[in-house]
Amino acid sequence: MKETEKLDKIYRISELLTKRFGESTSFMIMTRLAEEVGELAKEVNNFESVGVKNKKMGIPNRVNLAKEAQDVIRVVLQLVEKYGVREEFENSIEESFKKLGEKYKSL
């Protein structure tokens, strides 16, 4: 599957969740983002075997880590959609990719 198809699927998931739960304010989205980043940090801590919750969480779970990372990306895309900057966001990705590709051609 191409990267653009994956990004489109995440946009679609975001759209469906907005339809299900209703339109969110910017503050609500930012609060959700903070929550999701915290959940991702918890999974990262588990992988790094740090923090007091390591014993409670058990063996690091790759699926949980991937899910939390996807949740963070999904919430960021909700902000992109809320402010109508999808085209600018995607252009920014392309521009960064192009600059890095030119800078690191030999790698």
Write out the two tokens for 53: 């919750």
Say if residue 63's pLDDT is above 90: yes
pLDDT digits (tens, 9 = 90+) for 30-46: 999 999 999 999 999 88
What pLDDT digit, counting tens, does each position of 5-21 carry? 888 888 888 888 888 87
* 3 state SS of 49: coil
Nearest-angstrom CA–CA distance, 72 and 38: 10
What per-residue confidence (pLDDT) applies to 75?
92
Q: To the nearest whole percent, how much of the chain has pLDDT over 70?
A: 93
**Across residues 57-62, what is the average pLDDT?**
88
User: Number of helices and strands (H, E) in the chain?
Assistant: 5, 0
